[in-house]
Structure formats: C-alpha cells, structure tokens
Chains A and B, each alone.
Chain A
C-alpha cells in the first residue's frame, strides 16, 4: 500500500466520531491555552495528558487530542502577542516584534487575519511534508541497530545543546538531570534497585505523568506569580478580522520560505517553535527588509514567525514518529504518552502501528482545517479569554494538576514528588536553564541506556561497536560539527565582517529557549 492508501486508512480512524470530536475539542482548548499569556503547548499537553489517560481514552484518541492541542496552542499564541505585546507562549515571542506595532496602528484585525492564514499555510504544508517524508525516513531508519540508536541520541542531545538557550553548558546539565531522573527504579536487565532509597513507590521509577506535570504545570504556576495581573488589561479593539489580497500577496514568499525553515528546524531533535520563528524572522529581515520597517509593524515580519512556528509542529513529528526521537519538548511528552500505552516508539512504529500513525497524521489535517475556522471568523472568542484574571486561571491549573497526577496512579506520594520537581524546575528556569533537555533526557534515558548495553552485549563489551557502522560514524561527525561549528564560525567571522543584524532574534532565542 502506498502513502496515499495509508493516508486514506488513516482518515478512516480520524473520521471516527469520537476522534473528530477530540480533534475539534483539542484545537479549541489548544488555541485557548496558546492565547493565555504564559501558557503554551507544552503546559497544555502536560496538564491534559494525565486527564486523558485517567479517562481511559485509547492511544490513538489520546494522541489525536494532544496533537490538536499542540497545534492549536501554536496558532493561539499570536493572539496575546498581537493584542497585548505579551507572547502567548515561547513560540510567539517573535510575533510581538511586528504584531504589536501593527495593533497600535489600528491594524489588529488585519494582523490577526494575516497571522491566522500564515499559521494555516505553515501548518498545512508541514503536515503534507510529514505525510511524504515520514515513511521515507522510517524505511531508512529500520537499518538502525542498538549502536546506531545510541549514537542517534547523542546526536539529539548535541543538537539540543547547540541550539537552545543561552548556554550550551546549561542544556547539557539539563540533559544530565533528565537522564539521571530516568535511572531511578528497577534496572530492567538485572532487576537491581537503583536510587529508590527504600521507597516502594519509586521501584517503577519516577512516574512519567508526575514529572511532566511537575516540570511544566507546577513550575509555571510559580512563574505566573511573578507577573500576575488582576484581569484589568486594556485590549485594543480588533475590528474586522480581514486582510486584503494585496497584503497577502506581498507576504507569500515570506510565508513559503518561513515554512521551509520552520519545518527543517522542527525536524532537528529538541528544537521547536521558538527557535524556528526566530531563525525565520532574522532570515526574512536580512532578505526583504530593505526599508528597515521590520519591528515597526511590517506584515512580513508578522507572517514569518507565525508560518515558521506552525510549520515546526509537522517537522517535530517526523523524527518522533520515524525514529522515536522527539523533535521538540512537546513531542517529548507525546512520545512519553505513547510509552504509557506500552507502544514502543522507534523505527518500527510505522510498520507495527500503521493505524495509529496514519490516524494521527490524518487527524492533523482535520485539526488544521478546524483551526483555520477557529482562528479567522471565530478569533474574537479567544480575544475575550485574555480578560480571564489569574485568580481564576491559576487555581484551575492547580486543581487539574493534582487531579491528573492523583487519578493516574491513585497515590498522594506522587503529589509530593510533583511539588518537589515543580519547585526544582522553577529554580532551574529562573537560572535560565532550558527545560526541553530535561524532559528529553527523562523520556529517552531508559532507551539510551538499554541501547548502549545491548550494543555492548552484541560486541562482548568492545566499545568500538559504537563507532563501527557508516551510520554511526556519520552521526558522530555530525554531532561534533553541530557542537563546535558555531564556535569556529564565530572565531573566523569575528573582526572581519560587521555582525549581521540578527540581534532581536538572538535575544529572543535566549529568552524563549526556556520552554516550548
């Protein structure tokens, strides 16, 4: 069966009434969460996953819901960026640069419309690319053995530390902390207890849902406390949500270029919407900003980050579905969700779970269309949500977090672990440690150790096996390049050419690297 046949089979799954309902609900909730300042896709997925799990939804439906939330949040993030100059989530930081000046010029309506269309085009094209590239990559990756798989994870962490956050050292520390957390519990090969400190509740390791909610919901509550507002924010009047054909045509190449950039950056392990939108913005600024209007309310400066951050969603799904390596922090949680259902993510996913994989891909088309409708004619509903005061929002997050973690395993011990992890994550975030490496490390930790030990079992303890095959060698070289190339280039370029005008984007990457 070709790609098309598989996709049709997928639509059979996606069009089940329950799955359509979940895709629509997820899109709506996602846009809502994205629109709320401070909450982004990763928080939304973290809060909803335990509830969906407790409700007993099957794997495909859970994934369809969470993917819709993920994409919806990337759509919704722009609303508060444009209207309040407060990014709705990390992927929408760049959107404020030109979005808010447009709103101040009285162009809030056209800005919302144009960014909605850019989001849709970016999202849709990236889903189409996922549909066609996914199976190809899956075929390639079947030849991966334990050694290649181990090196692939090294590569994932290497990309992560060179792309994210203000300091590669901090990314690496975050990765380490995540990997260490994953060691806790019974060692699956020998049955030895590690780091359980005699606590029976830790024998199975630290519960995935507990970690996710602690890292991304509890720490978020503490961050919200710092810039809490009482709901009296003044919001610019929106007017008609329309954009003229002329303005749209002016942006068409920007949108297409940003989509390609967003997709590629999405594919890279661990880097998602915030990096994608920053790179797309700075590229466009260099290419088309001849009059220096970027940052002062240029439609192209708004279209670029919005197309890119939505395109990164489809991109991030590619390595997640084909290799079992998450393309972003949010997909790391989705990957963990698959493991909760005892589904082994990895090269064989396309072969072993075609109904699930294609059902989820097909449902992305459904959600993306639904999001276009919700984000153009219906966008005013979401502008109202900006008035939701924190005293109503935050207690809701607290209660949902506790309910999710408690109902997933019926224990109040995991609530303690959740609070401790939340406070620890808050400290990390205040010290500018990016969080994506922590969750990636935690999700991949067990697989990484398993593959290392299996590879060494095959070779009888000979470490050379990790460097033997052409694929491993290629990945090692790529990892070294990705870590050291930026430093070398900086050294070479320094003093010769005046620094390119990438400045706002770089600053924003530093600010945004913290979550997505």
Chain B
C-alpha cells in the first residue's frame, strides 16, 4: 500500500492540466460564430483538472502497486504490442501475428509449442475470415511484396 504513487500521479495530472491549458491558450478563431468560441471550454476543463489534481496532492489514497516482476513482465508485454504495431504492415499480418502470439503466449505461461500452434492457427483463421469472408484486405507484408503493404 502506497500513498506516494497516488500523489505522484496527481503531480502528473497537474502538469497535464498546465500543458492542456497552455496549448488551449493559443487557440484562436479567425471568425467567431458563437459568443463563446473554441477557447474557453478546453480552458475550463484544464482548470477543473488542475483543481482536482491539487486535491489529489493533499488527499492521496493508499493504492496497491504491482511488484517488480509484474512491472518487468508488463514492460515486455507492452514491448510486444509495439513490435506487433511496427511489423503489422512490414512483415504482413500472418507473420507478425504468429510471432506476436508466440511471445504473448510465453508471457502467459504457455509453452513454445502451444504458442506456435495458437499463433499460426489464429493468424490463418483471421486472415481467411477478413480477406475472403468480410472482404477487408489485411496487409500481406511490404517486405515480400515490395510495395507499401
């Protein structure tokens, strides 16, 4: 249990409110069609957020934080998702999906074989379903086809 984390996040929210308010200050409409215009509403939101963020600084709650091992695994999982995003067009749907599924399955305590079977199965079924039944073309892989995917 930890109050510091909640307080730290309050600080982050305060920063966010400042950035949002700062960027909102620069919104200028060449012509205004309504008395309010596009600027006051986001500034109002930033103000409310700032007030609440300060509240959290003074009244943080005790929250349970994940342990170090969980953080490491969570980091790996996020990295895997980013990998999937980056290879989605480049390696094509089938290959990118198969590799990603193996990695995710490993993080969730599956064996290499279980991951591989799930991965190839999922990739082929989804590819077939989308390309042939729903007629939504999925990327074949710019690495192999040479065009933009």
> Residues on A close to B: CB < 8 A?
54-56, 166-167, 169-170, 172-173, 176-177, 179-180, 183, 187, 189-190, 192, 194-195, 218, 221-222, 224-226, 228, 230, 389-392, 394-396, 398-399, 402-403, 406-407, 412, 415-416, 419, 422-423, 426-427, 430-432, 449, 452-454, 456-457, 460-461
Task: Please state if B88 and A225 are interface contacts (CB–CB under 8 Å).
Answer: no
Task: Please state if A412 and B34 are interface contacts (CB–CB under 8 Å).
Answer: no
Task: Please state if B126 and A399 are interface contacts (CB–CB under 8 Å).
Answer: yes
Task: State which of A225, A394, A402, A449 has its C-beta within 8 Å of the C-beta of B70.
Answer: A225
> Could you say which residues of chain B place their CB within 8 Å of the CB of A187?
29, 38
CA distance A457 to B34 in the complex (A): 5
> Could you say which residues of chain A place their CB within 8 Å of the CB of B119?
395
> Could you say which residues of chain B place their CB within 8 Å of the CB of A192?
27-30, 38
Report A420 CB to chain B, min CB distance, Å. Answer: 10
Interface SS of chain B: helix, strand, loop or mixed? Answer: helix
CA distance A96 to B82 in the complex (A): 37
Task: Please state if A230 and B109 are interface contacts (CB–CB under 8 Å).
Answer: yes
Task: Please state if B70 and A173 are interface contacts (CB–CB under 8 Å).
Answer: no
Shortest Cβ-Cβ A-B pairs, 6 listed: A391-B110, A461-B35, A395-B101, A391-B105, A187-B38, A190-B29
Known: A228-B108, A228-B109. 15 other contacts (CB 8 A): A170-B61, A173-B53, A180-B49, A189-B34, A194-B38, A195-B20, A395-B104, A402-B88, A403-B130, A406-B88, A412-B85, A419-B81, A423-B78, A432-B61, A452-B36
> Could you say which residues of chain A place their CB within 8 Å of the CB of B35?
453, 456-457, 460-461
> Could you say which residues of chain B place their CB within 8 Å of the CB of A190?
29-33, 37-38
Task: State which of A222, A399, A431 has its C-beta within 8 Å of the C-beta of B122.
Answer: A399
> Could you say which residues of chain A place their CB within 8 Å of the CB of B82?
419
Task: Please state if B66 and A398 are interface contacts (CB–CB under 8 Å).
Answer: no
Q: Verify if B140 is at the interface (C-beta below 8 Å from A).
A: no
Task: Please state if B59 and A398 are interface contacts (CB–CB under 8 Å).
Answer: no
Given A431-B5, A432-B63, residue A461 in contact with residue B36 (CB < 8 A): yes
CA distance A69 to B77 in the complex (A): 28
Number of interface residues of B (CB under 8 A): 66
Task: Please state if A225 and B23 are interface contacts (CB–CB under 8 Å).
Answer: no
> Could you say which residues of chain A place their CB within 8 Å of the CB of B20?
180, 195
CA distance A389 to B105 in the complex (A): 10
Q: Which residues between 24 and 53 of chain B lie within 8 Å of chain A, taking CB atoms? A: 24, 27-38, 41-42, 45-46, 48-49, 52-53
> Could you say which residues of chain A place their CB within 8 Å of the CB of B48?
172, 176
Report A478 CB to chain B, min CB distance, Å. Answer: 20
Q: Which of B42, B81, B123, B136 counts the most A-chain CB atoms under 10 A from its CB? A: B81
Task: Please state if A399 and B134 are interface contacts (CB–CB under 8 Å).
Answer: no
23 A-B pairs with CB atoms under 8 Å apart are A167-B61, A170-B61, A173-B13, A190-B29, A221-B77, A222-B74, A390-B110, A392-B110, A395-B118, A396-B122, A398-B81, A398-B104, A399-B126, A407-B130, A415-B88, A419-B82, A423-B78, A427-B9, A431-B5, A432-B61, A454-B34, A456-B34, A456-B35
Task: State which of B70, B85, B88 has its C-beta within 8 Å of the C-beta of A226.
Answer: B70
CA distance A194 to B85 in the complex (A): 26
Q: Verify if B141 is at the interface (C-beta below 8 Å from A).
A: no
Q: Verify if B107 is at the interface (C-beta below 8 Å from A).
A: yes
Report B87 CB to chain A, min CB distance, Å. Answer: 10
Contact with A along B101-123 (1 / 0, CB 8 A): 10011111110001100110011
CA distance A398 to B20 in the complex (A): 31
